[in-house]
């Protein structure tokens, strides 16, 4: 049993029952010149966490933890994208349109790939998800259950959209969840902070938060 010095209380976990879930560290959200920046977002807060996510991956791998990567992505015919989602955002840069790095949020396109520095390794799970949450319309829950996973550590982008949605979905499915607070980011730093606060309020209503250094200290 390991213990992370976390907020609001210590977080206890067993490595063999814990997975790291890295949400949507894909080129289109993070790289300058991608879909996110084409929409006018400042991608720097997202780019800044890449070294921390890389260090988190190294820590999880060294500890023998299961690693899960997700990508927000759709089939090329967009049959898995509800019309309400297609209507969101800038019409000239809608899902499926040609963006700076290929068709936006479409599987197989260059912009939909995970950043090279964070490339999944053999044996790690890569979950393509059509929603914001990692459990909606995916087999993630079944894959985790099959491996006896009870505890999930979350990282990635963006804190208030896909990371938060995934952590809430996981909490509702009975997983003990911790968000690695310096390994996730938002285009809007105020949303990042607000999300960390709301997830952990009321005695950890959705779960715990801790920085990467606290996980590393727990595994020493």
The structure tokens listed for 185 are 């980011």
For residue 20, the minimal CB distance to ligand C5J (Å) is 17
Site string for ligand C5J, 100-139 (x = CB under 6 A): ----------------------------------------
* Region binding ligand C5J by CB under 6 A among candidate stretches 2-10, 14-22, 74-82, 158-166: 158-166
Which residue in 81, 162, 177, 184 is the catalytic one? 162
Stretch that binds ligand C5J, among 6-14, 108-116, 118-126, 153-161 (CB under 6 A): 153-161
Applying CB under 6 A, among 52, 158, 195, 200 the residue interacting with ligand C5J is 158
Looking at residue 161, the DSSP 8-state letter turns out to be: I
Is 146 buried (19+), middle (13-18) or exposed (0-12) by CB count in 10 A? Answer: exposed
Strands 2-4 and 11-13 turn out to be antiparallel
Burial class (CB in 10 A: 0-12, 13-18, 19+), 54: middle
Instruction: Return the residue of 46, 161, 199, 214 that touches ligand C5J, per CB under 6 A.
Output: 161
Q: Examine the residue annotation and report whether 177 is marked as an active-site residue of this protein.
A: no
Q: Which of 21, 22, 24, 179 is in the footprint of ligand C5J by CB under 6 A?
A: 24
Catalytic residue (one of 81, 129, 177, 182): 129
Comparing CB distances to ligand C5J, the nearer of 24 and 109 is 24
Give the pairing type, strands 66-72 and 125-129: parallel
In whole angstroms, give the CA distance from residue 54 to residue 114.
12
Residue among 65, 67, 64 nearest 156 (CA)? 67
The token pair that represents 114 in the structure block: 């995970």
Quick one: which of 20, 25, 57, 72 contacts ligand C5J (CB under 6 A)? 72
Whether 139 sits among the annotated catalytic residues: the reply is no
Of 46, 157, 180, 215, which lies in the binding site for ligand C5J, with binding defined by CB under 6 A? 157
| 169 lies in the binding site for ligand C5J (CB under 6 A) | no
Beta strands in 105-175 (DSSP E): 125-129, 151-157
Residue ranges of the alpha helices (H) in the chain? Answer: 27-30, 35-38, 44-48, 50-62, 83-86, 140-146, 164-172, 189-204, 212-218
Indicate the residue among 19 and 105 with the shorter CB distance to ligand C5J: 105
Kindly list the residues in this chain that would bind ligand C5J in the complex (CB under 6 A).
Answer: 24, 29, 72, 157-158, 161-162
Catalytic residues: 24, 129, 162
């Amino acid at each position: 049993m390991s213990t992370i010095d976390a907020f609001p209380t210590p977080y206890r976990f067993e490595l063999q029952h814990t997975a790291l879930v890295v949400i949507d560290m894909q080129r289109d959200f993070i790289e300058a010149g991608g879909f996110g920046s084409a929409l006018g977002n400042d991608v720097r807060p997202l780019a800044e966490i890449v070294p921390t996510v890389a260090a988190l991956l190294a820590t999880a791998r060294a500890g023998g933890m299961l690693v899960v990567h997700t990508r927000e992505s759709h089939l090329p015919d967009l049959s898995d994208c509800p019309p309400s989602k297609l209507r969101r955002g800038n019409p000239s840069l809608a899902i499926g349109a040609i963006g700076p790095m290929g068709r936006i949020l479409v599987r197989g396109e260059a912009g939909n790939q995970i950043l090279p520095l964070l490339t999944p390794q053999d044996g790690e799970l890569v979950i393509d998800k059509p929603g914001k949450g990692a459990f909606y319309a995916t087999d993630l829950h079944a894959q985790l259950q099959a491996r006896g996973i009870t505890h999930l550590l979350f990282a990635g982008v963006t804190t208030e959209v896909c990371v938060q949605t995934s952590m809430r979905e996981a909490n509702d499915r009975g997983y003990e969840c911790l968000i690695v607070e310096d390994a996730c980011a938002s285009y809007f730093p105020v949303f990042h902070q607000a999300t960390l606060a709301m997830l952990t309020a009321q005695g950890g209503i959705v779960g715990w938060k801790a920085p990467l250094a606290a996980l590393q200290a727990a595994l020493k």
